């Protein structure tokens, strides 16, 4: 039997016509689909980054993942617009509507930033950097885990606001680790004998990955407030 996610991917809620009755359930489905797409986008960018950072220089895989990421961003943008319209026109969730919209908007912005950063990296062709491969892999893994933790926290917010705090602690831990590794890499870059252009590019890449974790942490800070407001 296919699980819920598979069924949802096969027949996305957004492809259905909004029903006359049961709008709440329909909107719940849209929010779930939006969060699924964000998670999917994060995974795609992660795979793209891995290919980009791998010594094998998998340009074709990077291009494919970039295309996929752009498509997911477009889909998320559409979903967000539908959710915003429905929440306001159907007077759903008046008490927490603003918080929910800000959360979805921030998550979309995070995915958008990830996609843009990845695209920016792709403009400069991937190149082998044997001295930094391990550190960059570590950095990207932690930054992505930080982003994944905040998406999970957002999902938890809709069902169990009191449990959001656990995920937020994870986000903070990953963000601290990301900062630590980013600092280590920056120091190593400055101390390396690479030319100025190479050092600039590497430092930019570190800043991008570190920035993603910072964004995720900012979202988690806001989310903790939304969760406190909804706590019983």
Partner 1 sequence: MSLIVTLIFLSSGLFLGWSMGANDASNAFRTAVATRMIRFSTAAFLCSAFVIIGAVTSGAGAAEGLGQLGAINTLPGAFTAALAAALTVAWMSKLGLPASTSQAVVGSIIGWNLFSGSPTDLGTLGRIAATWVVSPVLGAIFAMLLYKLLVEWIRLTRPHLLSLDRNTRTGLILAGVFGSYAIGANGIGNVMGFFVEASPFRDLSLGRFSVSSVEQLFLIGGIAVAVGVYTYSRRVMMTVGDSLMTLSPLGAFVVVVSHSLVLFIFSSTALESLLAGWGLPTIPLLPVSGSQAVIGSVLGIGLLQGLKGVRQIRWGVLGGIASGWITTPLIAAVMGFVLLFVVQNVFGQEVFRAVHP
Q: Give min distance, CB of 232 to partner 1, in A.
A: 5
SS3 92: coil
Cβ 97 to partner 1, closest distance in Å?
A: 9
- State the Cα–Cα distance between residues 70 and 78, nearest whole angstrom: 13
Give min distance, CB of 98 to partner 1, in A.
11
Query: How far apart, in whole angstroms, are the C-alpha atoms of residue 162 and residue 98?
Result: 19
CB 52 → partner 1: shortest distance, Å?
37
Q: How far apart are CA 195 and CA 199, in angstroms?
A: 6
Q: What is the distance between the alpha carbons of residues 199 and 218, in angstroms, rounded to a whole number?
A: 28
Shortest distance in whole angstroms from residue 18 CB to partner 1: 14
**With binding defined as CB under 8 A, does residue 96 bind partner 1?**
yes
Q: How far is the CB of 23 from partner 1 (least distance, A)?
A: 9
Which span sits near partner 1 by CB under 8 A: 41-49, 88-96, 115-123, 133-141? 88-96
Query: Using CB under 8 A as the criterion, what x/- string covers residues 33-72 for binding partner 1?
Result: ----------------------------------------
Q: Which of residues 137-176 bind partner 1 (CB under 8 A)?
A: 157-161
Q: Does 8 bind partner 1 (CB under 8 A)?
A: no
Q: 182 near 210, Cβ under 8 Å? A: yes
Q: CB atoms < 10 A from the CB of 44, how many?
A: 24
Residues that contact partner 1, how many (by CB under 8 A): 19
**Of 229, 102, 94, the residue nearest 162 (C-alpha):** 229
Binding partner 1 by CB under 8 A: which of 12, 14, 18, 28?
A: 28
Q: How far is CA 82 from the centre of its chain?
A: 20
**HEC states along 194-219?**
CCHHHHHHHHHHHHHHHHHHHHHHHH
Counting contacts by CB under 8 A, is residue 232 touching partner 1? yes
Residues contributing to the site for partner 1 (CB under 8 A): 24-25, 27-28, 31, 91-96, 100, 157-161, 230, 232
């Amino acid at each position: 039997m296919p699980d819920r996610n598979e069924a949802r991917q096969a027949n996305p809620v957004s492809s259905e016509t909004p029903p006359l009755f049961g709008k709440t359930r329909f909107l719940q489905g849209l929010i779930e689909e939006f969060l699924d797409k964000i998670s999917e986008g994060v995974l795609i960018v992660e795979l793209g980054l891995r290919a980009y950072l791998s010594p094998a220089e998998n340009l074709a895989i990077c291009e494919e993942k970039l295309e996929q990421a752009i498509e997911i961003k477009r889909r998320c943008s559409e979903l967000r617009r539908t959710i915003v319209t429905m929440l306001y026109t159907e007077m759903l969730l008046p008490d927490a509507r603003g918080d929910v919209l800000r959360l979805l908007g921030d998550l979309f912005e995070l995915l958008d930033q990830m996609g843009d950063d990845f695209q920016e990296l792709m403009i400069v062709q991937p190149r082998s950097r044997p001295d930094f491969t391990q550190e960059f892999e570590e950095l990207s893994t932690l930054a992505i885990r930080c982003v994944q933790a905040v998406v999970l926290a957002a999902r938890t917010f809709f069902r169990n606001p009191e449990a959001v705090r656990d995920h937020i602690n994870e986000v903070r831990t990953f963000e601290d680790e990301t900062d630590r590794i980013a600092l280590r890499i920056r120091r190593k870059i400055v101390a390396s004998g690479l030319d100025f252009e190479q050092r600039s590019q590497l430092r930019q890449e570190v800043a991008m990955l570190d920035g993603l974790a910072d964004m995720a942490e900012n979202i988690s800070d806001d989310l903790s407030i939304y969760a406190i407001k909804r706590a019983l």
